[in-house]
Amino acid sequence: MKVAGQASVSTGLLAAALLCAGCGPSNTASAADEPGELQKLRLEVAHLREENAQLRLSPGLLGREVDEALRAGDAQRVHASLRTLSQNFPVSPETETMTQRVAAFDKARDAQAEAERRLAAQGLKALPVAGTLNAGDTTLALSSAALLHRWVFDSWGEGWRFEDAEKQHRLLVARVTVSSRQREPALFGLAAYVADGARLRRVGELRYRFSRWSDYGAFLGTHADFRNDFAHSWRVPLTAAVSLPEQDLQRKPLFLVATAEGCHQRGYERFGQPPVFYTPKPCASLKEVLEPGDFLSGKLVLLRRLD
């Protein structure tokens, strides 16, 4: 701060000198010397102003500039800001921290670019099969997925409910476990797709049912089953299915896709069997046609490929 104060004083004196230049006695400087002296004074003022601007910089301020660029995803500004920080304060904690963050940023960008190159070269074959989807504080884990003629759900003791496929149809049945810290999470959207050239074409969206109940009374709603209530349980087993025409299933493979978009809301009907259920609503991200590049954002995940 002392240096900055001195620089400011110097700037003021030089500015005053500029104002007074040429107003003194004629014998102090010749008319021919005045332009050169003025130019010299202007250059010194500009230099001191630049020094003042540099003195006002701090590691914290430059670190915030790097952070803002990282949040904006502006790679050019990220590296320019980090370069300014490291040149002015090479051993500061901010420089060390931001250097690590920029390295992670570059690594993620390189991985994204590699994924894009792989998708461009291999198309649908390059889509990774994840098996799980994490979004916020909710996770869906796929246990199994198969094409069946019967979908069994709402099991209790020695009883259960089921749905059979219509003729010339089969059911894509998925068994999943949803974990969440929320009391009433919206369940992720699920859809079945088939290959259509280099793209995916949607053939159906899955709906959820509870896998099982503690007993028949819980299924009827005469008493609560906290294992099927996210307000009490961290994990709830569920099953989901969709009926698909055999003609669509002839186009192999079949892709089970999940979206982080919450498309199924919990509902309650007092005399329902069971009284608790999930109602689907449209999932904007599960478009009728998907491109391989749609999976790069991380919002969509391929849970299973059925050949």
pLDDT at 122 exceeding the cut of 60 = no
Report the range of poorest mean pLDDT among 49-63, 76-90, 176-190, 194-208. 49-63
pTM of this prediction? 0.63
Taking the alpha carbons of 55, 57, 60, 61 in that order, is the dihedral positive or negative?
Answer: positive
User: Does an H or E element contain 101, and which?
Assistant: helix 93-122
pLDDT of residue 160: 93
Residue written as token pair 């259920």 = 277
Separation between Cα atoms, residue 154 and residue 269, nearest integer Å:
16
| Residue 104 contacts residue 73 (beta carbons within 8 Å) | no
DSSP secondary-structure letter at 129?
Answer: B
Res. 183 pLDDT band, cuts 50 70 90: very high
Separation between Cα atoms, residue 193 and residue 201, nearest integer Å:
5
pLDDT, average across residues 165-171: 96
